[in-house]
Copies of this chain bind each other. A is one copy, B any other.
Amino acid sequence: MILAEHDNPVMPENGRMMVPIKKAYEMIDKMREKFFLELPVEKISLKKALNRRLASDVISAISSPMHNISIMDGYAISTSDRYPLALQEDIYAGDEPGKVLGKGKARYVATGAFVPEGADAVLKIEDAVIEDDMLKGISLEPWTHIVKAGSDFKTGETILYENSVIRPQTIGILHATGVSSIEAYKKIKVAVVSTGNEIKNGMTKDTNAPMVCAMLETWGCEPEHIGVIPDNKEETVSVIEQVTKDYDMVVTIGGVSVGKKDFIVSTIIEGGSVVFHGYRIRPGKPLLVSYYNDKPVFSLPGKPTGAYTAMELIVRRFIMGETRRVKVDLPVSKDIEFYSKGFDYIVYVEIRDGKAVPLGYEGSSLELFSGRKYGVSIISASPRSLVADGYFMARDNLKEGENVTVNLL
């Protein structure tokens, strides 16, 4: 067995290196740093930016707004003047900036127009009365209905940070900053490999590979499902050798337990270098993370929720970095008693009537068991558990009504 040279491997206990989640995160973060240092960067236009990952901070090239603008159709005035005011020429959105308001004067400004120099408020058209070409209106506080230049952001300000993924809303912000292209990491090519005779011969449906591919896609990767390796050592070695040459990284699914036909484990141990095998998380504890041919290989457990959890906690962190999930504190809807100690349990929940309803129990959309002990192995075998709104992490038993911190998916 070759130990990982890349990171701090934890020595195996009973053939399995089971690390706590904090240690797993540390290792993943180191792997990530190395991986992204070597990942090519390319300049892409904003048109192709959706779902791409920034390789550098985005600094605004302009102030926004560039000049004071009116946010109403109305009349630009100076609050130090008194009505009635004589009218000067109108100003529309798109007119040049730098126009001036005379003392004792008012100018019609359209929404989005630059407010003339000397004006410090806009009287809404609904509040304006024009008589004999003179404007009367109501008294206004300074800066009413004006957005000041640079109030949204200023030239040189950092708007988005390296490693963030471009979302529909951030596309809008990017355009507002005056930049026309961004530096993005090359799309990561990922080979996704299923394993197991029961998948190969169709006895069990391959729930995981398409889910894994879809998740990778939403994280800006280019996944490809290579196929299913049957329970055969030679084939396992040959496929792993090939894909670790052809792709930037590899995700395998299944065959990571201590069963008699879990060939992924022996293949990696013999030909690769283990970073860790097993983490103190349920569901999904047999997760195996390694390098093979110097490429990162994530070997997920085969139960759907275990695979999903490892994707969410570990692979997502590897690709996206320590990305903030929106968290909310909610009372849990049931007592929960965990079977064994020493694990962080990931409990998937639906949010209903302001409560976190654990999947698997009565009253949730997936009622697999009605006892009080949390049957993590049963729930992790259920594809239907993937409909969760979020999850919380817990180590100790919980009473109904106790608050938990739900990470929203």
Contacts and interface: CB of A to CB of B under 8 A. Distances in A.
Given A114-B203, A175-B205, 6 more contacts: A72-B377, A111-B257, A151-B368, A169-B211, A171-B213, A172-B386
20 contacts: A47-B210, A50-B214, A66-B203, A72-B377, A73-B260, A93-B197, A93-B198, A95-B198, A96-B203, A111-B259, A111-B302, A111-B303, A147-B368, A168-B215, A169-B214, A171-B211, A172-B214, A172-B383, A177-B205, A326-B351
Contact of A147 (B113, B230, B231, B382): B382
Number of copies: 2
* Interface size class of chain A, counting residues whose CB lies under 8 Å from the partner chain: 35 or more
A389 B407 CA distance: 13
Contact of A73 (B207, B257, B390): B257
B303 A327 contact: no
Given A72-B377, A214-B167, A178 B205 contact: yes
Contacts of A94: 196-201, 203-204, 230-231
Contacts of A73: 257-260
A29 interface: no
A408 B205 CA distance: 33
Interface string A90-120: 1011111100000000001011111000000
Nearest to A258: B73
A136 to B, nearest CB: 19
